[in-house]
Each structure stands twice: as structure tokens, then as C-alpha cells.
Structure 1
């Protein structure tokens, strides 16, 4: 009856997170093709896509919705998104039957079996981007990527989670010295872009609680970050704020094509 999850894929090329309890199985985003999603489900050993209770959508960017239309039609899955995200993504995913389309509003809670899912807004260049906190029997799992900064409101929502999947998108020096044109660099660094490794560390320092044990660094840029660099930067930032990493708190990598092991929150 535990709350469990696997980061199936995370990064610039595609994102998908699986969450389950004894009476609920959900997918957040499907940013890879339906075929690739099937491979990820097999690799993670988490059962069949057809058995999902639904797909929750964070926003309409292709690295989050690429497989949703095909999966919805093939497996007759319910899709949940807020109204503005539905409006933005419908032309991109093709027709979804009306009885599979559900609205999940911003700053609301929906219950799936024995799992309560809380939505909250982030700052990103999409129609109405939002992420989720999962609550089950006193345990709390946060998923938050694709945000240019972490506001006090966001921190209040995700504070003292048992486990967190949080964006650590880029190393600022790699980004500034890299091949991206200035307009793209400015977008990434802006308030509607992505948070850096150091920003991730400082945000975590403000929200880690006594029961926070596991932190998964997610949505790393393929061109402007590396796992070792992200992990070291976040660890150093947290240690400078008084946290003992590797003792009470463990940092985990995520990958663009290799799912994390199914973990208990």
C-alpha cells in the first residue's frame, strides 16, 4: 500500500514520471513516443500502460506531451490537464475522445483511489504550466521541473516532502560558454525558463524538512549540464547551508532513457 514512483525519463529530450499506490497508477507526462514509452515501462517493470488510471499533463511543450495522443487513443486512457493547457496542446496531440478528456484545475486537489494529487503553478513559458504533489497515508512526493524560479508560494506547497523530483537544469558556465544563441540563453536564464544547479540547491535548502530523505535531480540539459556537475553543485550548495548529504539525505541522478528503480516515498 506504499506510495512508489519511478522517473522513467527526464531531460531535454523527453520526460515521464510514474506514480503508484495500492489503488492508483498514474503517469505524469509522456514526452517520448508511445513506442518508447512502452520500452520504458518494460525496463522499469511497472506493469502495462493500459492499466493506468490516467496521464497528468504539466504543460504543452513537446518533451512532455509527445506520446500522449497516441497513448490516449491506443490504450483509452484518461488525460488530465488544466483548461489553458488543453487549449494549447490539442492541436499538437490530435483528437482525444471527449470521454477521455478531463480538466484538472490549477491549485486544486484530485483523488485517484487512495492517492490525493495537488496541483500548483510554476513560472515557465507555457500556457498555464503546473506540477504536482502526491499525498498518501501521510507521505508526500513532489514533482517540480520547468520553472524559471521557485517562489515562496511554491516553496510552501512542496515544503517537507519525503521525496522530491526537482529541476537542476543547467550549469550556468556551461550555458554561457555553449553554442546556444543569446536569445535561447536569455530564455533559459529568465524567470520563465529553467533553474540552474545552484538555484536548485538553494531552493531545496528552504524546503527540506526532517522527513526529507530522497532528492532526484531532474530535467538536466543535454547540452548545458552533466550528472556529476549537477550533483556536486547541489551537494555543495546544500552543505554550505548546513545539510549533511549522504547521511540523512541522498541525491539521485535521473536519465533521459534509463528509468530509476521503483522507489518507496
Structure 2
């Protein structure tokens, strides 16, 4: 059986990712409406009531605003860190929900293992994830200002990776965002730039890394073609060719990605 990933939405305005292994179906974040989530799942022939868990990366609205209404409809278990739950509840970010679970470093749902990793972002307790089944591994790291050695080590033996390519630094600097927001985006608790993410991808490449999904692109400070070309150039500097050594995909804002597998 294959371990699979599909982005249902990916941008600074809404994020939701589907993970599947055998008869295990989970979502990472729901930062879009219930209606859009159901429509996106239907496009890949997944019934919303079959989702066994929602794993939260952090409390920002583009990652959680659809979780509450989905949970109230399907009673889906929600996994988040203790600190993240405290902020969600204190600020009533998703309304009243049931089936709340405290995220542990390692969680198992049937034959799928979910490992959480603390990341650097301006949220209370943000995490990224690595999903593992039958020695196949997919990493998911978005909303992250820097990649530390612990995460680098973890992702080096993954077979697929979804990595943030949020912005082009030059577009941020010359753009219309206020100064404080520019500093936030570019800071260590902000978001990964195309250049930084592309270098990381080239550095961690190994022959069993089959694909990378460039994700969480800013609508204001990035372009899909720019993220792709930056990645292509970084890989070519290492003697690597897209299509021959690795497949590269760019997650779209409102359109499902291909259902990728390892």
C-alpha cells in the first residue's frame, strides 16, 4: 500500500492537507470552509465522515477556521498541543467542539504513525509533522521561519516532503505591507523564503526522495513560477534535474494537488 498526500488548499488565506494510508484518512488543519473541504474531499473520492482525525499545526485562522464546524458535523477527533488548545479555547477560535485530544510527540492511528516536531513560528506552540507507514515517510513543514538541525535530520530520510515556499524576499521588501509585517515575515518566527526552502530541498535530497510539494505560497509576495524556478536552479547547482531525480509540484490556493504517493 502507498502512503499518500493531497493538498486541498494551500496559501496564506487557507490550508488543508489530506493524508492517507490504507483505510486511515486524516486531515492536517482545516483553514477553509466546511463546504470547500467536503467538495475537495469528494474530488478524490473520500467521504468526509471517513476522516478519522484532524491534526492541527498551530492556531492561526488560515489553519483552524473550518475545524469547528467540521467537528460539529462529523465528531472528528482533533489533535493539538496543550498550549495550542489553551489559545484556541481562550479566544474561541473554533467554537465548541468535542473529541479534543492532546497531541503527543508520537501518535498512532491504525498503521499510520504521526510524529510532531516543534517549529519556529509566531504561534504559541507550532508543530510540523512526519507521517510514516511501512517504512515510507512524508514530511509536512509549513509556517516555519527557520529549519533547525533536529528537523533537518528528521526530513533527510523522507520519501516525500511538503515544504513552505512562502515568499520572495525582494517582493516582500518592495511590497505594500507595513514595516512590522515585513519584519515578521522575514524573521526567524515568520516564513521560509523561496531561496531558503530551495536550498534546504537541494541539501536534503537523496535518491529515495521522490517528490516535493512547494506549499503555503503568499498571494502577495510570491508567484508559483518563481518558486518553481528558484527550486530548479538550486537543484541544478547540485547536479539534480527535475523529472529525472525528483518531481516538483506547486500547491495551488484553491485547487487540489495531485494525490501523491510514496
Report the RMSD for the aligned CA atoms in angstroms.
1.0
**Which residue of 142, 147, 158 maps to 1:145?**
142
Pairs aligned (count): 260
Counterpart position of 1:260: 257
Q: How much has 1:47 moved relative to structure 2?
A: 1.3
TM-score (norm 2): 0.96
Unaligned 5+ residue runs, structure 2?
none
Match of 1:127 among 111, 115, 124: 124
Question: Where in structure 2 are the equivalents of 1:84-95 lying within 5 Å?
Answer: 84-90=83-89, 91-95=92-96
Deviation track 1:152-174 (CA, whole Å, cap 9, x = no partner) reads: 11101111211110000001111
Alpha-carbon offset, residue 262 of structure 1: 1.5
- Residue matched to 2:52: 53
Instruction: Give the alignment's TM-score, normalised by structure 1.
Output: 0.95
After superposition, the C-alpha distances for 1:233-258 in whole angstroms (9 at most, x for unaligned) are 11112222332222111110111110
Q: Distance in 2 between matches of 1:9 and 1:135?
A: 22
Gap runs ≥5 in structure 1: none
8 Å CA contact 1:24–1:112 kept in 2: the answer is yes
What is the distance in 2 between the residues matched to 1:58 and 1:93? 14
Q: Is the contact made by 1:160 and 1:210 (CA closer than 8 Å) also made in structure 2?
A: no
Which secondary structure state, in structure 1, belongs to the residue aligned with residue 207 of structure 2?
Answer: coil
**Which residue number in structure 1 is paired with residue 78 of structure 2?**
79
Match of 2:220, SS? coil
CA distance in 2, matches of 1:160, 1:246: 20
SS at match of 1:217: strand
Offset from partner CA, 1:175-229 (integer Å, 9 cap, x none): 1111111110000000000010000011112322220010110000000001000
Moved over 3 A (4+): none
**Secondary structure of 2:131's partner?**
strand
